[in-house]
Amino acid sequence: MRDRFLAEEVWETIGLPVEECVGYVESSEDMRRFRSALFTRIVPTIRDIGLWGPKIRRAHSNMGIIGFADIDAEGLMRADERVAEEFDSRRRMH
């Protein structure tokens, strides 16, 4: 998954400087927020559905995302529902 985020093959294929592009992706605040939002959902789900074996834990640790396993996915889903309901409520008013 980490390799897909870095997209080295994409940068190479389109003729951009790979190391420079990878550096940008790794240091981009937008990409950090995106990865955080993504892994906040993915990692706890992997844990909750029983795929949290040693190999997966090691891979997540190597990617630096092991801490996302401690997130309360149920709580996040409830918060998402509240946000969606508030959004729908405001939309109906307009």
Q: Which residue has the tokens 């990409």?
A: 31
pLDDT single digits (tens) 7-62: 888 899 999 999 999 998 888 999 889 888 889 989 999 998 989 999 999 988 98
CB 94 within 8 A of CB 72: no
Cβ-defined contacts of 38-42 (< 8 Å, 24+): 39/65, 39/68, 40/68, 40/71, 40/76, 41/73, 41/76, 42/68
Structural tokens at position 59? 């891979």
Q: Rounded to two decimals, what is the model's pTM?
A: 0.65
Residue 2 in this model has a pLDDT that exceeds 70: no
